[in-house]
């Protein structure tokens, strides 16, 4: 049994987090700013090699069309850990994006921190780290 099977069998929260993360990836690949925003908490930030970007910063470049994605694919089984009303999702993801007219292909480890609020999971933080070649 692989790790996702272990964490999802007998417990509904990990399976729910996987479904939310996969739908969020489809929204990003579809450049659907409203669906993307629906997963993010107001205080969401993403941390990358470029620093910290806010929800407003990210959504503004998506809405403007300056940032588009044509692919967003999880290539590993996710690791999910639940700590009460907090869940941590980690997986390796590949994506193809265009920013400022230039194509970028990325292979990254992504960690998303979700918090349960009003019976709804929202992402409060995303961290991306470039995957090592090989």
In this model, does residue 7 exceed pLDDT 70?
no
| 3-130: in CATH 3.20.20.70 | no
CB atoms within 10 A of CB 39: 21
pLDDT in tens, 62-99: 999 999 999 999 999 999 999 999 999 999 999 999 99
Q: Taking a C-beta distance cutoff of 8 angstroms, is the pair 91, 21 a contact? A: yes
Domain ranges for the chain: 3-130
Report the C-alpha gap between 39 and 37 in whole angstroms. 5
Cα 22 to chain centroid distance, Å, stands at: 8
Backbone angles phi, psi at 112, to 5 degrees: -120, 135
């Amino acid at each position: 049994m692989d790790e996702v099977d272990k964490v999802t069998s007998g417990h509904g929260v990990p399976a729910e987090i996987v479904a939310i993360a996969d739908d969020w990836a489809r929204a990003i690949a579809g450049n659907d700013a409203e669906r993307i925003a629906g997963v993010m908490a107001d205080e969401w930030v993403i941390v990358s090699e470029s620093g910290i970007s806010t929800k407003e910063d990210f959504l503004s470049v998506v809405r403007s069309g300056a940032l588009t994605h044509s692919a967003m694919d999880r290539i590993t089984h996710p690791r999910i850990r639940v700590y009460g009303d907090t869940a941590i999702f980690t997986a390796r993801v590949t994506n193809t994006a265009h920013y400022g007219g230039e194509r970028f292909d990325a292979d990254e480890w992504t960690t998303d921190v979700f918090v349960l609020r009003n019976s709804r999971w929202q992402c409060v933080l995303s961290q991306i780290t470039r995957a090592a070649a090989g």
